[in-house]
Amino acid sequence: MKGMRIKLKSQEKEMLEEIPREKMKTKRKKKFNKKMMIYCAIFLVVIYLIYTIYLLMKQPTDIFTLEEGTLYSEETDIGYVIRDEIVVQGENYKNGMEKIKSEGEKVAVNEAVFRYYTKNEETLKGKIAELDGKIQEAMANETELFTSDMKSIETQIDQKLLEISRINDTTKLGEYKKEINELITKKSNIAGELSPQGSYLKELIEERKNYENELNSGAEYVNSTKSGVVSYKVDGLEAVLKPTEECFSTLTKEYLESLDLKTGKIVPTSEESGKIIDNTYCYIATITNTEEAKNAIVGDKIRVRLPSGSEFPAEITYILQENDEESVLILKIEKGVEELISYRKISFDLIWWSETGLKVPNQAIVKENDLAYVVRNRAGYLNKLLVKVKKEGEKYSIVEPYDTAELKELGFSNEEIISYKKISLYDEVIINPDLTKVEK
């Protein structure tokens, strides 16, 4: 009996040990199944993503949606600016100058542009400033002199002083200071006329006038010799780069490069002279070796894009053939001249042509009997539509539908013209179309 009890206990022990093993097996099996489900899900997601990417990549090469676009044939060149300009300079240029006309300001013939200082100008100005202070003090004690004219001048002076506090432009600041000095002088002259002979104020004003006359008599004023705009950007090439055919004929590549100019560099401001520029037109000389340049002729209309990004019409007015590859073109522009006043050598874009309209890939156009067609996809229904190619680029073309008159010129019947289907914005066209699938 005792032996049987030991045997039973041993069997019970084995059974108890077997239960955890079964649980472990079940647990491992469930874990394995769970992993397999996860792997399957990941696999399916990857397959879906690959298929989606394939569709996205496939779609643009099969179907193209028509939108408005612009095609260009352009090149970036280096240009040398040629202007109709005259340098104005006086004899006393070593004395320094005071600008009467600001940079870019218009001037008439014989109008004062600037003046040279006199040798003792600073001393005279100091004496005049000292007298101005004394005159102001003397006027403050003689209130009976303040007429309506003088009160009006005081109001103008206060207004100018207020405006000065609001500006940062040094050119305008100089103009305002000049106007204030003129108003103060005018006010002093009125006070001098109203002051009794022999008075202290009268003597101060007379002394100031004498100094002012001495200052003005010793100054040299330089006037404009033509109408135009004033510039103080003088580089010494004004008499060399001239807008004449004689000058154009000498502008070889070797000569232009020998000028040793830096592209985009602003011409420095002169403290000795100025110049008057005809701002109605200017020229740009450029060296180019493109196919378009080889086929260009004088009178061709083109466009230029200046460094600011602005585009303006231009005309080829002179061509100098350098060799079989290169040409020097002289381009005339009549707009945007002011943008180039500060420069002599620039980088710019020469636009040979540009066309705007419905933009379509060249691979979507099929040719039959010298006519161009595209295949439109509308809800799976394919139509071969006749289009007019306005301009063909390297990869894209600009197209538009024909009008009735053009279709008649092509020989289409009235019935064909009535049934003519036009291409339009946002139509979908097939790239590399299979014409056997197109509805007749």
DSSP 263-311: TTPBPPBPSS-EEEE-TT-EEEEEEE--HHHHH--TT-EEEEE-TTS-E
**Domain identity same for 22 and 132:** no
The pLDDT, as a whole number, for residue 435 is: 78
**Domain identity same for 376 and 258:** yes
**Domain identity same for 45 and 175:** no
The pLDDT, as a whole number, for residue 98 is: 87
**Domain identity same for 271 and 312:** yes
Q: 93 lies in a domain?
A: no
Q: 112 lies in a domain?
A: no
The pLDDT, as a whole number, for residue 386 is: 93
What number of other Cβ atoms are within 10 A of residue 156's Cβ?
Answer: 15
Mean pLDDT of 40-54: 71
pTM, entire model? 0.65
**Domain identity same for 152 and 205:** yes
The pLDDT, as a whole number, for residue 40 is: 77
**Domain identity same for 352 and 255:** yes
The pLDDT, as a whole number, for residue 189 is: 66
**Domain identity same for 257 and 176:** no
| Residue-by-residue DSSP string for 331-388 | EEESSSGGGGTTBSEEEEEEEEEEEEEEEEEGGGEEEETTEEEEEEEETTEEEEEEEE
pLDDT at 83 over 80: yes
pLDDT class for 8, splitting at 50, 70, 90? very low
Nearest-angstrom CA–CA distance, 254 and 144: 75
Over residues 301-360, the pLDDT tens digits come to: 999 999 999 999 999 999 999 888 899 999 999 999 999 999 999 999 999 998 999 999
**Domain identity same for 166 and 287:** no
pLDDT at 156 over 80: no
pLDDT at 9 over 60: no
**Domain identity same for 252 and 381:** yes
Q: 48 lies in a domain?
A: yes
**Could you tell me which residue, 185 or 17, shows the higher pLDDT?**
185
Count structural domains, the chain.
Answer: 3
**Domain identity same for 314 and 386:** yes
Residue 55's domain comprises 2-60
**Domain identity same for 73 and 42:** no
Q: In this structure, what are the phi and psi dihedrals at residue 159, rounded to the nearest 5 degrees?
A: -65, -45
Q: 111 lies in a domain?
A: no
pLDDT at 279 over 50: yes
pLDDT at 165 over 80: no
Q: 240 lies in a domain?
A: yes
**Domain identity same for 249 and 341:** yes
Buried b (16+ CB within 10 A) or exposed e, 177-186: eeebeebebe
CATH number at 384 reads 2.40.30.170
Q: 169 lies in a domain?
A: yes
Buried b (16+ CB within 10 A) or exposed e, 49-69: eeeeeeeeeeeeeeebebeee
The pLDDT, as a whole number, for residue 52 is: 58
